Amino acid sequence: MPRQTIKLFFSALALILTNACRKNEELAKSSEVEVLFEKSKADSIDTKTRLDYINAALGKLSENEFDSLALAMLYNKSYCHYKLQEPDSSHTIDAYTFRNAVRLDNRYYIARTARDLGIHFEKKQEFDSAFFYHNISKNNFLYLKDSVEVGRRLLRQGIIQKNQNDFFGAKETLVESLRFLETDSKYRAIVYNELGTIHRKLSNPEDARVYFERAISSSLSSSDIIAYKNNLAILYTELGEFESAINQLQDLLENSDMDQESARYARVLDNLAYSRWSQDHRYGNIDFFQALRIRKEVDDRRGQIASYSHLGEFYAAKDPVLSKSYLDTAIQISRQLKIPVGESDALALLMKNQPDNMVFKDRYIFLRDSLYARELRVKTQFAKMKYDDEQEKNRILLLENETYQKQVALVEEKNQKIILLSLSVLLFLGGLFYYKLLRQRHRREKLREVYSTEKRISKKIHDELANDIYGIMARIEHSGTLGGENTLIELESIYNRTRDISHTTGDIKTDDFKSELKRLISLFNGGNTNIITKGINDIEWGKLNEEKKITLYRVINELLVNMKKHSEASLVSIQFIKIKNKLRVNYVDNGKGVIKPIDKSSGLLNTENRIKNMKGTFSFDSEPGKGVTVKFTLPI
């Protein structure tokens, strides 16, 4: 047995030490990972060094150690690849981070990685995936109460819908985004600009003008204002307000913030050339070619589609062959960039030049049908995503409402308990106060009773005993002798009366109350008075408490004393009756009675008060020559 005990002890000790060592290793590893990650945040290092630190930190983590710190490192790693112009690596890490963030239910990184994935798919022109991830990002930012990011995700969704010709859906989404961008003037201006473009596409020029002007007035960025004024100038051109368009575009070209070799400058220049040519077809082509040259140099391929389309329209009447060449180039670039709208617009211009060319017509019809089918599919997808999103919101709101209702019910229940407890406390305190009040009143009654008793005893001793004793003393003093037998008789009388006073005011034996009560009655029974009792043996005196026994004793004593002193009754009846939970006492004598109105003496008043203090009832009746009747009850 001792060997086994020692063996078990050392085994347990080894296990404890092993676990302690493992925990120390884990803490050391965790500390090392945190140190490496902190080093990667230093401002003084370049992006490549930053990435090396992050990779080193991630290399020390195993799959089961993946937590929010690992998500933070992965998110920073993705940003490093983005800065190093490695978009594919950045996207791969974003996708991996997103999956793990979902697994860990980390809303912070779900929101951010979904946003980055949405931007990636938007650049790849995979708009359904882009919309999907922007929607996930928006919902998680909404959960995180990041209003600005919610508004920005809605803006990207609205732009995607606009680019897919879902103008009504886009308008609804963009208007919703404004609710979340109240403090972000830059993005509010972008929303106004997009709404202006949508209304221009929907042939609502006045609404378009209002939104473009709002974008211009609310933006604080000179670069953005140039873009918004350019869009407003396009609207002027479409409305035939060429002078307004030309003046605005000319002012933009002369703006000191405009880089004359930028894609933006080329866009404004191309629009200015188109507005001047639209106003006067005699206008030359030099600005069209300058804009195209800049767009080629900066590789603005979308801009090149606009330049070639404008040149095709410019040469349509002058040189149809050259016009077709430019329009064919626009179609080719549109196909390469997967922009069917650009191809469709170029085909529309070609059909004007060659209305009988069935190849153009068939291709145009095919493209329009494809675009319509695609727009319909995209609109359906977007509508379904928004519908699912609304359903999810409603479900969450319903759950929140149910939770709120439960919380309200719990609060109400708690309040009810507090109210009930407060009422109970108040009732208890009120009862305690009332009890103390009754006790004080009872004490006062007791004091009054004691005082009254003392006064009565004092008067009785003075009136009945002291005078008689003084008389005997005076007679002995004058006669010089004790007075013989008469003196003894008087002294015996004084003794008997002293004994009566003692019985009246002395202690009462409540343990054997029936015998005590009988003894009291027997003191007054005899001589010229006969007292008859009935029911005294039938009462269960043990059920009566001490106070009530004393009260009953004092009342009967008072009645018998009054009878002896005033009534001169020869016959007295005292009946004890138990009625349910009450003791009833009927006292009747055949004495002289009392002349009405009845003047209750202090003794009789004390008697009535004693009974009422015990929650009992008391009645007194008497007529001259017909004796006295007293009835009182006490609760048992």
pLDDT digits (tens, 9 = 90+) for 344-396: 888 888 787 777 777 666 666 766 666 556 666 666 666 666 666 677 667 76
Q: What is the pLDDT of residue 424?
A: 85
Task: With cut-offs at 50, 70 and 90, classify the pLDDT of residue 343.
Answer: confident
Higher pLDDT, 462 or 110: 110
- Spell out the domain ranges in the chain: 8-105, 124-218, 221-299, 378-505, 507-635
Q: What is the pLDDT of residue 501?
A: 65
Q: What is the pLDDT of residue 466?
A: 60
CATH number (1.10.390.10, 3.40.50.720, 3.30.565.10, 3.40.50.300) of 507-635 reads 3.30.565.10
Closest CA to 128 of 137, 118, 142: 118
Instruction: Determine the Cα–Cα distance for residues 232 and 212; give it in Å rounded to an integer.
Output: 6
Q: What is the pLDDT of residue 29?
A: 47
Concatenating the DSSP letter of every residue in 516-559 gives HHHHHHHHHSBTTBEEEEESTTTS-GGGS-HHHHHHHHHHHHHH
Q: What is the pLDDT of residue 513?
A: 92
Task: With cut-offs at 50, 70 and 90, classify the pLDDT of residue 566.
Answer: confident
Q: Is residue 84 scored above 60 in pLDDT?
A: yes
Q: What is the pLDDT of residue 476?
A: 75
Encode pLDDT of 399-414 as tens digits. Answer: 777 777 888 888 888 8
Q: What is the pLDDT of residue 20?
A: 47
Q: Is residue 198 scored above 60 in pLDDT?
A: yes
Q: What is the pLDDT of residue 26?
A: 45
**Which whole number is the average pLDDT over 451-467?**
62
Closest CA to 340 of 164, 131, 121: 164
Q: What is the pLDDT of residue 21?
A: 46
Q: Is residue 462 scored above 70 in pLDDT?
A: no
Collapse the DSSP code of 251 into the 3-class scheme (helix H, G, I; strand E, B; otherwise coil) and give the result: helix
- Residue linked to tokens 């150690």: 65
**Which whole number is the average pLDDT over 18-32?**
53
Q: What is the pLDDT of residue 447?
A: 53
Task: Report the CATH superfamily, name and number, of domain 124-218.
Answer: Tetratricopeptide repeat domain (1.25.40.10)
Is the Cβ–Cβ distance between 273 and 302 less than 8 Å? no
Strand order in the sheet with 628-635: 530-534, 571-579, 582-589, 628-635, 617-622
Closest CA to 583 of 625, 628, 549, 627: 549
Q: What is the pLDDT of residue 93?
A: 96
Mean pLDDT of the chain: 85
Q: Is residue 507 scored above 80 in pLDDT?
A: no
Instruction: Determine the Cα–Cα distance for residues 501 and 274; give it in Å rounded to an integer.
Output: 137
Q: Which residues pair with 575 in a beta bridge?
A: 534, 586
Is the Cβ–Cβ distance between 471 and 491 less than 8 Å? no
Q: Is residue 9 scored above 60 in pLDDT?
A: no
Q: Is residue 503 scored above 50 in pLDDT?
A: yes
Is 507-635 the same fold as 124-218? no
Q: What is the pLDDT of residue 188?
A: 97
| 612 phi/psi in degrees, rounded to 5 | -70, -30
Q: Is residue 257 scored above 70 in pLDDT?
A: yes
Q: Is residue 298 scored above 70 in pLDDT?
A: yes
Encode pLDDT of 515-546 as tens digits. Answer: 999 999 998 888 889 999 999 999 999 889 99
Q: Is residue 460 scored above 60 in pLDDT?
A: yes
Sign of torsion, CA 601 607 611 617?
Answer: negative
Q: Is residue 105 scored above 70 in pLDDT?
A: yes
Read off the amino acid at residue 138: K
Domain 221-299 -> CATH class? mainly alpha
Q: The pTM is what?
A: 0.59
Q: What is the pLDDT of residue 459?
A: 66
Q: What is the pLDDT of residue 97?
A: 96
The most confident of the ranges 237-246, 278-287, 440-449, 535-544 is: 237-246
Higher pLDDT, 501 or 146: 146
Helix and strand totals (H; E) in the chain: 23, 5
